Chain A
């Protein structure tokens, strides 16, 4: 599949990454160093063009299609998906890289979209849960989550499904113990973990079947 590429290949962002926007976004500039010094140093090191602070047009590759969108440089990929592109499967829960509800797959790697700036996601293959269903048919992982009742309120579920998909891509034959380890980056409040464990194992079987068939 197209998104399953060597993660190293895209390690360096192709984007016009704005260090200033990033720094403003995370509030580092309020520290002892002045913003001016940081910016100068940052630009000297990267040679990056400064974008913003207002909205800038960018193009994202989402579920195999280029999508043009205007975002502020400080805007996360998660907020861009949810607020600008109406791709709302990824959820905003902790908004700081703990709970995994916002999980997407970027260049084959499972990532928290709340912790990636949209401008930094340019040139990378972004896969969201919306892109998993094919011709209206649910993906094997989604089906397994339903079969094993691996969801209650369902708000953590999209993140779990994406984390499970990414996990199974790397490890198609997981043991029960590996599932518990591999899905540790997602949190659920209703307590659906027993179902999730079974669902991931069932999905592994189903995905293998699909490949063989």
Chain B
């Protein structure tokens, strides 16, 4: 018997597929309109669902009358989820669902439902902590060292207030699904980040064995952390399918509901005091923060302060969670990191300004407070070179006499991203076709392409020879896509299942080449003897030796063993710099440039990796300049649940973006690390810092709208 295969990644210089920029496999399907998302599927006899939501932020349902809706011609199911007595806690909460022959009829039926509410008092704003009353809950204080003494002895102390509002995920494909429940079988077409796990969720809710739940999802239109559970709309659509005799029901949220209840990123507001020595060494950090993520309040792990520099010796950290009557938070690309990064990097930039010091110099000086001093030093140097920081930076506010002021800012981020649990099956057929199957999902990150690249590398075949099958829970269990754990998980399980299959093929072929299996290698479409490349056969000929049998082998990434195996790991860093121009007469901030230097260990596909970082920088522009969920204090509703006033950056709003993937041997050796979240952290803070540098005053709240910029300028001159 041969030994276990050597699963290690081939050395950097010897890779033929991995590490080479590659077009995503489903690129043409998406750009030609052939890709069918689950919001596009229309199984025979499909009914259209619609949802009635609460117009009140806090109310008790006194009575509900669905009789007129039920009588409407074309309506096939009506379900009430908020029965009399139910207390709804936010505007947009689900009241009743309808399924009808057409969407128009379903919407008409929704309008015929009469609900009598007893309206109760609500709180929807947490910005002013003093007005939150008993809705605020202190979650405790952490103290390290002796902050009082450190502040007393400091050469410089800086104080500031910073705030970042609730953002919504604003997935372009809304949350929802098409679902058919026939007897005890479910055909389920959700838009999800959790192809495998969501089957358990819906099965439990309907008391149907998970083994009878079939999840299909080839494409999904954005999740960003918000699409894991089956949700009320999934369960209710399933029940309407049941009650209509198994007809499929399509129930996707409309835009207003999507932006009101389908997840959001918690806010954070902070009062921060920092201290440093004259040479820029940070000596103390004190922060009082509060935030909300809906009715449950908003929790922040205090250990994260000060962000990345969390070995600062003297710290006092306080946090208060505020419960408000608004839709609940969900994981949002690097949960809480962008907020904590913004508060920290803003406060430290203010501290540097107080010392009249270049913040780049101060950040670098304090890198021994971080877990990765060498990595960040390299990245800051690289970013500074790309940004021409030394040439372009000026002390705060010292930006000429004209009305348009230019400034630079910087920030840094960190994330885990170790691979999740993933199993994979690789099959070699006698005709030499190769299939890789696993129940993962491609959110647009390029995971489908990555799987093909790993298998192609392993078999010495072109990527086009690999058939990747994902997006179906009948394939082997692979984790949900959260926490940037997918890349590590699926590349490792694919590597192992493919190596295991290849080993079996080697064993079949070895005899005819008169060698042992471990003397063979798969290179350039051939199975050949190591060190004797002429002795071998084509992959095709080797596969033919299987006769009528295929080889199918499993591979598993188990997070507990992964650190020893070295295929994937967690822990990564990145830095961002921003260059902005601010018109001090209009308050308009214009992006000139963003530079991002990002590490994610071994980069499988530099093309899609770069796209992830571009996207994260653009999301940072959105958060820094445009995005904000605005609550109406009177009605308690979201005032801007649409895309005119819940603003995203357009193609002309983002300036130029320079991405440098930090691909180096020493990073590569750590194996594959997820990228989606780490790159989405620092951009916002870098932009906010650049604006402060440009106009000479901190704009405390993002998004940095013209009104806020002008108000900050006015306070400076007042």
Contact = CB atoms under 8 A, between A and B. Distances in A.
Interface in B598-622: 607-608, 610-612, 614-619
Which label, helix, strand, loop or mixed, suits the secondary structure of the B interface?
loop
A153 B173 contact: yes
B652 A180 contact: yes
Nearest to B607: A149
Contact of B31 (A98, A142, A186): A142
B642 A146 contact: no
Contact of A184 (B26, B618, B651): B651
B614 A155 contact: no
Contacts of B608: 149
Nearest to B73: A54
B24 interface: yes
B648 interface: yes
B711 interface: no
A180 B102 contact: no
B130 interface: no
A150 interface: yes
B103 A79 contact: yes
Q: Chain B interface: which size bin?
A: 35 or more
Given A75-B104, A94-B255, A146-B24, A83 B48 contact: yes
Contacts of A181: 652
B32 A138 contact: yes
Interface string A54-94: 00000000000000000010110001001100101111111
Contacts of A133: 32
Contacts of B42: 83, 86, 88
Given A83-B48, A94-B255, A154-B219, A197 B27 contact: no
A153 B172 contact: yes
Given A129-B32, A151-B27, A98 B220 contact: no
Contact of B615 (A93, A98, A99, A192): A192
A151 B443 contact: no
B707 interface: no
Nearest to A183: B651
A156 B483 CA distance: 24
A192 B33 contact: no
A146 B31 contact: yes
Contacts of A92: 39
A202 to B, nearest CB: 12
Interface string B29-60: 01111111101101000001000000000000
A142 B642 contact: no
Contacts of B644: 94, 96, 98
A91 B172 CA distance: 9
A146 B172 contact: no
B222 interface: yes
Interface string A168-182: 000000000001110
A154 B35 contact: yes
Contacts of B654: 193-194
Interface in A130-182: 130, 132-133, 138-139, 141-143, 145-147, 149-158, 161, 179-181
A190 interface: yes
Interface string B629-661: 000000000000011100011111010010000
B619 A143 contact: no
B705 interface: no
Given A83-B102, A98-B642, A193-B651, A149 B255 contact: no
B662 to A, nearest CB: 19
Contacts of A99: 172, 643
Interface string B429-459: 0000000000000011110000000000000
B554 to A, nearest CB: 29
A190 B32 CA distance: 18
B31 to A, nearest CB: 4
A153 B443 contact: yes
A128 interface: yes
Contacts of B219: 153-154
Contacts of A43: none
A196 interface: yes
B646 to A, nearest CB: 9
B27 A146 contact: yes
Nearest to A145: B31
A101 interface: yes
A100 to B, nearest CB: 10
Contact of B221 (A98, A154, A179): A154
Nearest to A163: B651
A81 B103 CA distance: 13
B611 A149 contact: yes
B574 to A, nearest CB: 15
B324 interface: no
Contacts of A98: 642-644
A80 B192 CA distance: 26
A9 interface: no
Contacts of A161: 31-33
A194 B649 CA distance: 12
A138 B642 CA distance: 33
A156 B222 CA distance: 10
A89 B649 CA distance: 23
Contacts of B28: 138, 142-143, 146
B222 A190 contact: yes
A117 interface: no
B685 interface: no
B410 to A, nearest CB: 20
A154 B643 contact: no
A179 B651 CA distance: 9
A134 to B, nearest CB: 11
Interface string A96-128: 101101000000000000000000000000001
Contacts of B446: 152
A197 B30 CA distance: 17
A156 to B, nearest CB: 6
B173 to A, nearest CB: 5
Contacts of B643: 93-94, 96, 98-99, 187
B170 interface: yes
Contacts of A143: 28, 31
B172 A101 contact: yes
A151 B33 CA distance: 12
A46 B279 CA distance: 78
Contact of B23 (A88, A130, A149): A149
A191 interface: yes
Given A96-B644, A151-B444, A155-B222, A194 B614 contact: yes
A93 B173 CA distance: 6
A144 to B, nearest CB: 8
B87 interface: no
A191 B619 contact: yes
Contact of A191 (B26, B221, B618): B618
A51 interface: no
B36, B614, B643 — most chain A CB neighbours (10 Å): B643
Contacts of A157: 30-31
Given A155-B173, A194-B614, A88 B40 contact: yes
Interface of B: 23-24, 26-28, 30-37, 39-40, 42, 48, 102-104, 170-174, 219-222, 224, 254-255, 443-446, 607-608, 610-612, 614-619, 642-644, 648-652, 654, 657
10 contacts: A88-B42, A91-B39, A93-B255, A146-B27, A149-B608, A154-B219, A184-B652, A191-B619, A193-B618, A193-B649
**Top 8 closest A-B pairs, CB basis?**
A89-B33, A191-B618, A155-B221, A146-B27, A191-B615, A153-B444, A154-B30, A152-B444
Given A93-B173, A154-B221, A189-B171, 17 more contacts: A72-B104, A83-B102, A128-B33, A138-B28, A139-B32, A142-B32, A145-B27, A145-B31, A146-B24, A146-B27, A152-B615, A155-B172, A184-B652, A189-B224, A190-B222, A193-B650, A195-B614
